[in-house]
Structure 1
Amino acid sequence: MLLDYLNAALKKAKYEVIKNEKEKYYAEISVCKGVWATGKSLKECRKNLLSTLEGWLIIRLQRKLPIPKIENYDLKPLKVRY
């Protein structure tokens, strides 16, 4: 399910070509606030975006912050009792 969420989020990504810059591509996932990346190629940009998304998701789960529902994927932290 986690991989499905990541893939669904990547489908929401918007890409831009940046002229006259070292990093030629920029991407963001607007539904996931703060998730963006750059890269010298589209492939590198997408790889960097996935890495950023993974880190963003881990932090949100650790801190019990809301995670936006994407398509039918609604991730919520589990309540664990010790």
Structure 2
Amino acid sequence: MTVRFILSEYVEQALAKALYDKLEDNTFVGRIPECQGVVAFGSTLRECEDELRSTLEEWILLGLKLGHSLPVIDSIDLNKEPTLEPMDTL
């Protein structure tokens, strides 16, 4: 049985769409075009990637808490109401 964590999958799919640029001062900027406002900076590409992941995770959690509509990424829709499974299926 494969366990599927929807938030983890959403984060991974969103990060796969990230765009990175090297700036004139040799630092990096990363963004995810589908996720408006998700931008991060770092002195190295790895630092920028880590910061972008953290920014994305916080952006998702805040969006869910505030009831914002989040973009559907690779058919993962976090805007749907969760369905509850009966306890006996656990």
What TM-score comes out, normalization by structure 2 length?
A: 0.80
Aligned to 2:38: 35
- Once the two structures are TM-superposed, the CA of residue 20 in structure 1 deviates from its matched residue by 2.1
Bigger-Rg structure (1/2): 2
RMSD across aligned positions (CA): 1.4
Deviates more, 1:53-62 or 1:68-77: 68-77
**Identical counterparts, % of pairs:** 35
CA contact under 8 A between 1:9 and 1:70: conserved in structure 2?
yes
Aligned to 1:73: 76
Of residues 45, 65, 73, the one that matches 2:48 is: 45
- Once the two structures are TM-superposed, the CA of residue 30 in structure 1 deviates from its matched residue by 1.0
CA distance in 1, matches of 2:31, 2:37: 8
Residue 25 in 1 paired to residue 28 in 2?
yes
Which structure 2 segments of 5+ residues have no match? 1-5, 83-90
Taking structure 1 as reference, are residues 56 and 77 closer, same or farther at Cα in structure 2, changes over 3 Å only? Answer: farther
Which structure 1 segments of 5+ residues have no match? none
Which structure is richer in relative contact order (CA contacts within 8 A, separation 6 or more)? Answer: 1
